[in-house]
């Protein structure tokens, strides 16, 4: 399993140790640095690049709103399931080798999506793309401090910024490419870009040797099964599957989760002590991170459809409007730092979550009862303002939760750290499922009420027990 780089004990900042004591095969240059950051951006772009032309995909295949959202959700579901295994593979085979394999698989799956003959084929290929991109978070996050130890935290800050850039660029790039070449051209563009990055990584980034790491294979398989069943259950709810099968899948997810905890209790040396997941700092950080992604999932999957259908705008304008939230996320890091310095982590978290209770409700009211399509420009301005505010708040929430989990004792465990990241992707997938369930009802106020409730629940957890001292 991959672990957050730390001080030799699994804490942030420590380069990975190899079984044979060898370091990278050669000294990396700036091109290698940019190639790895570009890979991170490509993974994020890959998840959001089809958001703007989503309505065109729906029309091309004659699909419902709920069904077409699966083409977004499949990517995130696959990432959530395979991140724990990808982390271990990075440790065992070497992070750069695994990242390169991921880029190759991603490029092939994206180019194959150009020739999709049905929505089902597209959904399967999107899942394959998600599996490929599951290698990027642990692979790049592990490689940066290993190859550039002198950069320390600044390398990981650049990694976080690359995620923001990807979130910012996905919708507008997808919209503009689709405007000129159709939605299939979006996948052609992405596939070529991934292939170029693969060549750059192979040529510029030195190999990092793998090392022998302990793993309890049955425990990891059961964990992946539990994650997969949970996300499938959430997706089935969104697709309005009969409650019987959904309950069965949900119970299977619960049972497999309990089985994993039993196995972990017996083999904590190869997995983790189950009680450690209840550490207050870790639990707060993980809940907050999942909440941020849940809200982002709702916004990214519902707004492109609503703007295209209600304001009758094409993919290009849709991408530009949705770009507002992602752009705010990519450019507000200094504001987040200032907020935490001035208020402290606890008060800053409460401030962020308060904003994410109020702004989604206001946005939902504006979209339901604001100007109609005849005043699309006025309506769009209101939406952009709300997206800017939510983008700043989500970026702050992600940064605060990442910092908090790095301070937690549980976060030093490689599997626990992977489960924290998995919770983020599960939150995103659940947000997509929420959109699939509530968007067809025709009330954006009702849809965004889910975001407000999630933020309120997370805030109650953060507030319970008061602030925790930084270590």
Residue 452 lies in a domain: yes
* pLDDT, position 171: 75
Residue 309 lies in a domain: yes
* pLDDT, position 156: 61
Does residue 208 sit in the same domain as residue 292? no
Does residue 306 sit in the same domain as residue 203? no
Residue 220 lies in a domain: no
Residue 32 lies in a domain: yes
Tell me the two tokens of residue 430. 């659940």
Alpha-carbon gap, residue 136 to 58, rounded angstroms: 29
Whole-angstrom CA distances from 247 to 23, 73, 244, 250 are 49, 20, 5, 5
Closest CA to 101 of 144, 123, 134, 54: 134
Does residue 330 sit in the same domain as residue 450? yes
Q: Which of 195, 215, 235 is the last residue of a domain?
A: 215
Tell me the two tokens of residue 276. 């450690």
Whole-angstrom CA distances from 351 to 97, 346, 348, 437 are 42, 9, 5, 29
Residue 257 lies in a domain: no
Does residue 208 sit in the same domain as residue 284? no
Does residue 10 sit in the same domain as residue 101? yes
* pLDDT, position 241: 64
Return the exposure string of 423-440: e unless at least 16 CB atoms fall within 10 Å of the residue's CB, then b: bbbbbbbbbbbbbbbbbe
Q: What is the DSSP letter of 4?
A: -
Does residue 440 sit in the same domain as residue 308? yes
* pLDDT, position 88: 77
User: How many folded domains does the chain comprise?
Assistant: 2
CA angle 454, 131, 140 (to 5 degrees): 85
Neighbours of 369 (CB within 10 A): 9
Residue 189 lies in a domain: yes
Does residue 329 sit in the same domain as residue 185? no
3-class DSSP assignment, residue 408: coil
Residue 255 lies in a domain: no
* pLDDT, position 164: 67
Does residue 208 sit in the same domain as residue 282? no
Residue 384: domain span: 277-471
Tell me the two tokens of residue 200. 């750059």
CATH number for the domain spanning 450: value is 1.20.1250.20
Alpha-carbon gap, residue 70 to 77, rounded angstroms: 10
* pLDDT, position 115: 94
Q: Whole-model pTM?
A: 0.76
Alpha-carbon gap, residue 315 to 51, rounded angstroms: 9
Closest CA to 264 of 401, 419, 62: 419
Q: What proportions of the chain, in percent to the nearest 5, are helix, strand and coil?
A: 80, 0, 20
Closest CA to 468 of 288, 272, 275: 288
Closest CA to 208 of 30, 37, 29, 23: 23
Closest CA to 174 of 160, 163, 185, 164: 185
Does residue 165 sit in the same domain as residue 307? no
| 471 CB burial (10 A radius; 0-12, 13-18, 19+) | exposed
Closest CA to 378 of 370, 386, 387: 370
Q: Which of 215, 245, 264 is the last residue of a domain?
A: 215
Does residue 300 sit in the same domain as residue 201? no
| 30 CB burial (10 A radius; 0-12, 13-18, 19+) | exposed
Query: Which residues does the chain have with pLDDT short of 50?
Result: 1-21
Q: Which of 165, 185, 215 is the last residue of a domain?
A: 215
Residue 263 lies in a domain: no
Task: Give the ranges where 332-413 is alpha helix by DSSP (H).
Answer: 333-343, 345-369, 376-407
Closest CA to 41 of 199, 200, 197, 203: 197
Does residue 461 sit in the same domain as residue 326? yes
Does residue 296 sit in the same domain as residue 435? yes
Return all residues near 70 (Cβ < 8 A) that are at least 6 apart: 119, 123, 235, 239, 436
């Amino acid at each position: 399993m991959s672990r957050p780089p730390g001080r030799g004990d699994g804490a942030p900042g420590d380069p990975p140790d190899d079984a044979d004591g060898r370091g990278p095969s050669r000294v990396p240059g700036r091109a290698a640095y940019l190639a790895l950051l570009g890979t991170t951006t490509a993974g994020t772009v890959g998840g959001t690049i089809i958001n703007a032309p989503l309505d065109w995909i729906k029309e091309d295949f004659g699909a419902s709103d709920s069904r077409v959202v699966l083409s977004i959700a499949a990517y995130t579901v696959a990432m959530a399931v395979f991140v724990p295994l990808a982390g271990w593979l990075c440790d065992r085979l070497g992070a750069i080798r695994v990242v390169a394999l991921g880029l190759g698989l991603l490029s092939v799956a994206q180019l194959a999506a150009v020739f999709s003959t049905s929505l089902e084929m597209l959904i399967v290929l999107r899942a394959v793309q998600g599996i490929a991109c599951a290698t990027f978070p642990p692979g790049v996050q592990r490689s940066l401090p290993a190859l550039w130890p002198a950069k320390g935290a600044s390398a990981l800050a650049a990694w976080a910024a690359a995620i923001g850039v990807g979130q910012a660029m996905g919708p507008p790039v997808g919209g503009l490419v689709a405007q000129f070449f159709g939605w299939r051209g979006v996948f052609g563009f992405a596939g070529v870009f991934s292939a170029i990055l693969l060549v750059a990584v192979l040529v510029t980034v030195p190999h990092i040797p793998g090392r022998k790491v302990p793993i309890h294979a049955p425990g990891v398989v059961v964990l992946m099964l539990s994650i997969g069943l949970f996300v499938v259950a959430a997706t089935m709810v969104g697709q309005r599957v009969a409650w019987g099968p959904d309950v069965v899948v949900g119970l299977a997810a619960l049972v497999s989760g309990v089985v994993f905890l039993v196995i972990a209790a017996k083999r904590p040396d190869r997995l983790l002590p189950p009680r450690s997941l209840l550490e207050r700092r870790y639990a707060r950080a993980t809940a907050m991170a999942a909440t941020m992604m849940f809200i982002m999932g709702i916004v990214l999957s519902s707004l492109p459809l609503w703007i295209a259908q209600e304001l009758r705008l094409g993919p290009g304008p849709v991408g530009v409007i949705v770009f507002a939230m992602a752009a705010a996320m990519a450019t507000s890091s200094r504001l987040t730092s200032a907020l935490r310095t001035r208020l402290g982590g606890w008060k800053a978290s409460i401030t962020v979550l308060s904003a994410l209770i109020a702004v989604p409700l206001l946005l939902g009211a504006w979209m339901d009862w604001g100007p109609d399509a005849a005043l699309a420009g006025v309506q769009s301005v209101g939406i952009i303002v709300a997206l800017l505010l939510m983008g700043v708040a989500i970026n702050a929430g992600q940064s605060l939760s990442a910092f908090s989990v790095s301070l937690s004792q549980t976060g030093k465990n490689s599997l626990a750290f992977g489960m924290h990241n998995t919770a983020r992707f599960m939150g995103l997938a659940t947000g997509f499922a929420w959109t699939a369930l509530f968007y067809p009802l025709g009330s954006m106020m009702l849809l965004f009420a889910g975001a407000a409730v999630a933020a309120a629940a997370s805030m109650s957890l953060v507030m319970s027990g008061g602030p925790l001292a930084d270590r």
